[in-house]
Amino acid sequence: MSQTSFEIQQAAVIGAGTMGRGIVMCLANAGVSVQWVDNNPQMLEQALMAVAETYAHNVRQGRIDQAEADTRIARVSAAADYATIRNVDLVIEAVYENLELKQKIFRELDGLLKPEALLASNTSALDIDAIAAATRRPAQVLGLHFFSPAHIMKLLEIVRGAQTSPAALEAALALGKRMGKVSVVSGNCHGFIGNRMLHPYVLEARKMLLEGAYPQQVDSALQGFGFAMGPFRMYDVVGIDLEWRARELAGKGQDAPEVQIDNRLCEMGRFGQKSGNGYYHYEPGSRQAEHDPEVDALVLRVSEELGFQRRDIGPEEILERCLLALVNEGAKILQEGIAGSAHDIDLVYLNGYGFPAKKGGPMAWADHQGLADIHQRLLALETRQGDQWKPARLIGELAAQGRGFADR
């Protein structure tokens, strides 16, 4: 087998939750046969039914015919244990976000699978090198980070570990193409490209709630800019409780002022769309986010309890802080070589995070503003609000040369 001709014909997916279901369909749709493992047999049974129901829905909508649906369903089979999947070319793991659990699974699979098989994790943020270190085949280990719902969202972040081989990356890129994904290769860092940039963006949004804004104001400003969803509507869709539980489990981060509103919402059982209430209210069976005065009252109460002197925060400030937070982190990702180009970062934000297509992505938007201007604006924020706004070195360098991110 040549280095670049490794073609994935048979795959296995570990985990039959939200992500496993979408990933299985991506593979089946691309003509790859999939064996599916979950240590909870009931979960696997439900997941197989959910996949069949999605295909039946596609048939009802006229997207595929019954014969095609039957072919795709026939590609998917339940596997009782890891020994059953020993001949596959690729395993994609999508179990709970827990490093020790993922390492244990990778170690076990490494002992069973053929040497050339690839082992991928769908982790959202964990260290791919630490996962690879549990195996004797780190060159064959990588991240395949799908976005929810995986069979619909176009973006695939392919995470290159320190030892991931070019052949493994080629095979992953070829698979991404077969699945019709927009694939972007990312280096290994916490959150990779997309979620790493999301962190400071959301942090600004949360801080502004404490300083004087309300969720609907923040979301309206960003949606007015063209985002598919503002950050608080996004949290309602994803589930506010995911990060809350993760902080609880990790035993850290729960005391930060910025997460106090999230914490209160979760303590009230307001997890987002799935529980009918989150930052917004949802009528039964509806995904329409409705303004909820109770949430505004909670925001006011929490910020006053924390001693904030609230002030009016207009849409300009909301955009300035959220967008510049994205751009500054994007520039750091670029200067560290985590992303290969500014265009790759833009692809991530356009295809995975609802950044307005007309603006070309956060880095293209910054280029359009002019990096000298962006640099000045970051310095102004640094003066007013502190070190977190220190411009990335790359922005200063490019601004001094009169160049943009795209000119690198």
Instruction: List all residues 6 or more positions away from 39 whose beta carbon is below 8 Å from its beta carbon.
Output: none
Q: Measured from the CB atom, is 91 or 302 closer to ligand NAD?
A: 91
- Return the number of the residue (19 or 208) whose C-beta is nearest ligand NAD: 19
- Smaller CB separation from ligand NAD, 118 or 213: 118
State which H helix or E strand residue 344 sits in: helix 342-352
The nearer residue to ligand NAD, 94 or 208, going by C-beta atoms, is 94
Q: Which of 145, 151, 281, 375 is catalytic?
A: 145
Distance in Å, CB of 44 to ligand NAD, minimum: 8
Applying CB under 6 A, which residues contact ligand NAD? 14-20, 37-40, 43, 94-97, 101, 105, 122-124, 146-148, 238
Q: What is the β-pairing status of strands 141-146 and 155-160?
A: antiparallel
- Nearer Cβ to ligand NAD (244/405): 244
Question: Are the C-beta atoms of 44 and 65 separated by less than 8 Å?
Answer: no
* Residue with tokens 């999301």, as numbered in its chain: 198
Which two three-digit tokens encode residue 333? 């990702």
The encoded tokens of residue 143 equal 């991240």
Q: Please report how close the Cβ of residue 100 comes to ligand NAD at its closest, in angstroms.
A: 11
Closer residue to ligand NAD, CB minimum distance, 160 or 207: 160
Distance, in Å, from the CA atom of 198 to the CA atom of 190, rounded to the nearest integer, reads: 11
In three-state secondary structure terms, 283 is: coil
Positive or negative, the Cα torsion across 377, 381, 383, 386? negative
For the bound state, the minimum distance from the C-beta of residue 37 to ligand NAD, rounded and expressed in Å, comes to: 6
Select from 145, 160, 151, 161 the least CA-distant residue to 198: 145
Q: Closest separation between CB of residue 249 and ligand NAD, Å?
A: 12
Q: Most distant CA pair in the chain: distance in Å? A: 66
145 is catalytic: yes
CA atoms within 13 A on the CB side of 178: 17
Min. distance of Cβ 60 from ligand NAD in angstroms? 25
Shortest distance, CB of residue 97 to ligand NAD, whole angstroms? 4
Query: C-beta of 11: minimal distance to ligand NAD in Å?
Result: 15
Which residues have C-beta within 8 Å of that of residue 145, sequence separation ≥ 6?
122, 123, 124, 156, 157, 158, 159, 186, 192, 194
Report the C-alpha gap between 330 and 44 in whole angstroms.
Answer: 38
- Judged by beta carbon, residue 32 or residue 92, the one nearer ligand NAD is 92
**Helix (H, G, I), strand (E, B), or coil: what is residue 66?**
helix
- The dihedral built from the CA positions of residue 256, 258, 264 and 269, taken in this order, carries a sign that is negative
C-alpha 70 chain-centroid distance: 31
| Parallel, antiparallel or unpaired: strands 182-186 and 10-14 | unpaired
Using Cβ positions, the residue closest to ligand NAD within the complex turns out to be 17
In 109-244 the beta strands, taken as DSSP E runs, fall at 118-121, 141-146, 155-160, 182-186
Residue 38 beta carbon to ligand NAD: minimum distance, rounded to whole angstroms = 4
Choice between 212 and 272, CB closer to ligand NAD: 272
Residues annotated as catalytic (active site), given as ranges: 145
